[in-house]
Amino acid sequence: MMSEHPDCALVRRGYVAFSEGDMETLNSLMTADAVYHVPGHNPLSGHHKGRDAVLDLFRRMGEETKGTLQIQVEAVLTDGRGHVMAFHTARADRGDRGIEVREGLFFTIMGGKVTDVDLCTEDLDQVDAFWS
């Protein structure tokens, strides 16, 4: 197997830290002004600006799903110029609702840190219903 590109390795470290609830590592992987964009029309939608706001979003996702949120990474791809696309399946329960949905994250990386993340999903309506 070829060695993994550093940007892909960075994103994979982020996925592991997210899955383990390791906020300290997640904090270290982002710039202070990082932005995480969540599509749709639900309470989590919008532009989460700044590392603290992004970490708060992640904490909220864990709390809202009572720790049931699981992410299975399918692919991590790079262009070698500071962009990474990652594809995963997210599964979670929230109250009487469950979800299983394929999603993608588009990362912008500068200086070995994540500066911007765009979340895309295969089913906006399902995601909106789950988080609303």
Q: What does the pLDDT profile of the chain (132 residues) look like in tens digits?
A: 678 999 999 999 999 999 999 999 999 999 999 999 999 999 999 999 999 999 999 999 999 999 999 999 999 999 999 999 999 999 999 999 999 999 999 999 999 999 999 999 999 999 999 999
> In sequence order, what DSSP letters do the residues of 44-80 get, joined into one string?
T-EEEESHHHHHHHHHHHHHHTTT--EEEEEEEEE-S
Secondary structure of residue 104 in the 3-state scheme: strand
Q: What CATH architecture does domain 6-131 belong to?
A: Roll (3.10)
pLDDT at residue 1, rounded to an integer: 60
Instruction: Show the CA angle centred on residue 121, arms to residues 76 and 101, nearest 5°.
Output: 90
- The residue extents of the domains of the chain are 6-131
Q: Which pLDDT score is estimated for 3?
A: 85
